[in-house]
Amino acid sequence: MEVTFFLAGEPDLERLAGIDPDRDWREFQRGERIWVLQAYLRLARAGWPVKLAGTPPCGGLVVFHAKHERALRAAGRALGDAVLVGVRADNREPLAADFEIVQNGWFADARRRFHLPHWPQPALVPRDPARGSRLERAAYKGFDANLHPDLRAPAWRDFLAARGIEWVVDSVDFAGTATDTLPLDWPDHRELDLIVAVRPPERTLWRSKPASKLVNAWLAEVPALLGPEVAYRELRRSPLDYLEAATRAEAERAVERLLAEPGLHAAMVENGRARAAEHTAAAILPQWAELLFETIPARVERRGTKRLPLPLRRAARWLGRAATLRPAR
């Protein structure tokens, strides 16, 4: 079954098809490119028969991002017998999709919804081993709105400074395609001793978010102080995987613990180094290939080719989702 990655709204797909996902990290700031473009590039470079298109084909398997569902639906009947694989990422369920890719196990069912790990940070530069177990620089890498407001306040910076720790904020305001990424240096972890990523309070534990901050910390060989999120907890096997905090007070206690317990910092670095091996791009790539070239085609073959037209598929899934949310009488 032919596999096409659909990327809407890009004026120069030919240029994008030639970029290097292990070098051109600024090209992967938005979810559409992180998921769709990067998967295409890595599969293509590994020799898999995949295509990149701005216009959806009339058949085969089409991988698209949830934000591009409307553009995909505009094709209507031109989609023909195409099997639609939607990447949900941080968005709502793409109802047009025959199958879904989700970025943590919370939403996966291994029947129609499949979990694939978020790609790690491209071009990542690990911490300098010569820094040893020192704790002198803590950093947040991300977008402004995703950092807990208490960790953006002067009190947090003052707390760290009083303990000889510099607070580094490698962050900008997210503005979609207009986001200015030039001030960012997300790959560089050479002079960092602690990664901090605690989101604003949220009752559902940020179920839709991936574990990328944790995975990047492991790959960078830097201990992580993270919020109470589903994706992190799904990966947790040991207390050494990361320190958890939901508030500034809890974050402060975690920092105090790192400073007070000899060997904890080094143990977390060593543990992260071991955990990182299963979360590299090279380790994730075969999971994509298996899903797109084996698992989904086998399911399509078993169920046959007769399917509802796209609008009716969307309506049926919307009704099914509404039924699951309807309170019992």
Q: Which residues contact 329 (CB under 8 A, 6 or more apart)?
A: none
Which whole-number Å values give the CA distances from 10 to 15, 17, 53, 55, 65, in the listed order?
A: 10, 11, 10, 11, 13
- Confidence grade of residue 177 (pLDDT, cut at 50, 70, 90): confident
- Confidence grade of residue 322 (pLDDT, cut at 50, 70, 90): very low
- Could you give the CA distance from residue 157 to residue 189 in angstroms, rounded to a whole number? 19
pLDDT at 171: 96
pLDDT tens sequence across 301-316: 987 645 555 555 555 5
- Could you give the CA distance from residue 196 to residue 168 in angstroms, rounded to a whole number? 10
137-143 and 3-6 beta bridge pairing: unpaired
Give the alpha-carbon dihedral of 201, 204, 205, 210, to 10 degrees: -120
- Could you give the CA distance from residue 151 to residue 148 in angstroms, rounded to a whole number? 5
Lowest mean pLDDT among 153-167, 179-193, 207-221, 308-322: 308-322
- Could you give the CA distance from residue 48 to residue 46 in angstroms, rounded to a whole number? 6
Among the listed residues 182, 231, 174, 166, the one whose alpha carbon sits nearest the alpha carbon of residue 202: 231
Considering the domain delimited by 129-279, tell me its CATH architecture: 3-Layer(aba) Sandwich (3.40)
Model's pTM, two decimal places?
Answer: 0.89
- The CA angle 275-281-282, to the nearest 5 degrees, is 90
How many CB atoms within 10 Å of residue 78? 11
